[in-house]
Amino acid sequence: MKKFKFFTNFDEEESWLNDMAKQGYHFTKKTMFGYEFKPGKPENAIIKMDYRTFKKREDFEDYCALFEDSGWEHIAGTKGSGYQYFKKADKQGSEEIFSDIDSKADRYRRLADMWVTLCCSFIPIFVALISTDSIDPGVLLDPKSLYLTPGLWDLNGMAFWRAFLFETPFALFRGFLWLIIPIMIILYLYFAFRAKKQYKNIQEDMITRK
């Protein structure tokens, strides 16, 4: 079974995955847009998340081995996926994968860094589009120019509407496809901001508790 969902908070994501396990859906894989589950017996699972990417294969192996040795099964995540999911396999041992607040907060810092990097990689594309005049702001004033059907504007009645509506998606695509880039940039910045905020919240919690 597939579920499409997006989280910006690790704690919420963890408890959602645990709830799914309680209903008998066992998390098996994270894809770009969602989660894959295998139906089975309901289970009181403890799933915890880390965020880390690895440059080398052996670093990733070493990381997984450390978790396995200490009673956590690595259930999803790859060397480059960043998101790493662990399920408690031992009855004994800690119920947490972080034993201090700093390291628990640090995963948000790494997540924020990733969003900023992603955002920065889109900026040159945007600049290139602007500097090569690929973006024509004139279409906002003259949207008719986006329609290429010959004689479209001379048609009347049903014939006009049919041709007009048929071409509208193509016209929007031609004129506004570039909008995806600035939207992505803003979205990534927003995610980076959310992660940074979580990071600060956890650290402030720690100060007030002391």
Partner 1 sequence: MERDKHLPLTETVYYILLALIKPAHGYLIMQKVEELSGGQVRMAAGTLYGAIENLVKLKFIQPVASEDSRRKVYAITNKGLDILRLDMERMKHMINVTRDQLK
Nearest to 34 by CA among 19, 16, 48: 16
Token pair, residue 81, equals 């996926």
Whichever of 184 and 203 has its CB closer to partner 1, that residue is 203
Whichever of 74 and 174 has its CB closer to partner 1, that residue is 74
Token pair, residue 22, equals 């309680």
Q: What residues have CB less than 8 Å from 118, skipping those under 6 apart? A: 188
Closest approach of Cβ 71 to partner 1, in Å?
8
Whichever of 98 and 164 has its CB closer to partner 1, that residue is 98
Q: What residues have CB less than 8 Å from 196, skipping those under 6 apart? A: 108, 109, 112
Closest approach of Cβ 14 to partner 1, in Å?
13
Closest approach of Cβ 86 to partner 1, in Å?
8
Closest approach of Cβ 205 to partner 1, in Å?
17
Residues that bind partner 1 (CB under 8 A): 48, 50, 52, 58-59, 61-67, 69-70, 72, 86, 94, 96-100, 103-104, 106-107
Token pair, residue 97, equals 């994968």
